[in-house]
Amino acid sequence: MPRTWYSRNMYKKYTAKNYSLKKDTGLSQKQIDIHLGLYQGYVTQYNSLIDTLEECKKNNHTKAFSECNRRINFELAGIKNHELYFDALTEEGVSIKKESEVYQDIIAQYGTYEAFIAHVKQMALTRGIGWVLCVHDQPAKAIHVLWVADHELGGIALPAFLAVDMWEHAFLIDYTPAEKGTYIDTYLSHIKVW
């Protein structure tokens, strides 16, 4: 009798969000369409891997099961990082309320919100391709601005509140590599502080 690992589906499938982006994001419609297509690809690939995992589970293919689990982390982080990124470009946007713990910890650590944003920009400009993730370590009352080169390496156990996509697909149609600073300024200008 074959060994079974789980008696039911272990993963939830995702549906790509339909984003209603601001009219003036500082990015062209072509740039946005390509980037949203990439995000949709992460959702599609993640859901496909879930089907493969279920098949591996049924047939007791432990090696293939293990490889799919490794890959699924990359796809899931690709989904979640992009959702955080695109959320900032919607009419609702990403807001940091001045009375929130996140904002208070930013001020305690950086002195000013502008100093925090300057740190985020410096991190984005001094690295290659990847992500800048801003996370809040609530128990330590600390803000961490982290560089994540690959999605699967970004699965930390702290809630992210801001993501800046520094992969070329996020800006190269509208901004050259020499104009990354302008792209970063444009993107960060969509974060609301109130």
The owner of tokens 């969000």 is 17
Strands 131-137 and 142-148, bridge-based pairing: antiparallel
Does the pLDDT value for residue 5 go beyond 60? Answer: no
Q: In the Cβ-directed half-sphere of 69, how many Cα atoms lie within 13 Å?
A: 10
* pLDDT 10s digits, 100-147: 999 999 999 999 999 999 999 999 998 889 999 999 999 999 999 999
What pTM did the predictor assign?
0.83
Query: pLDDT tens, 25-65?
Result: 999 999 999 999 999 999 999 999 988 888 887 787 777 77
| SS3 of residue 140 by DSSP | coil
Q: How far apart are CA 194 and CA 192, in angstroms?
A: 6
pLDDT in tens, 171-194: 999 999 999 999 999 999 999 887
- Please tell me the distance from the alpha carbon of residue 56 to that of residue 51, in angstroms, as a whole number: 9
Note whether 171 and 97 are within 8 A (CB): no
Q: Look up residue 113 and give its amino acid.
A: Y
Domain architecture of the chain: domains with CATH = 29-87 (1.10.287), 95-193 (3.55.40.20)
Give residue 35's pLDDT.
97
CB neighbours of residue 28 within 10 Å: 11
Strand residue runs (E) in 9-141 = 95-96, 131-137
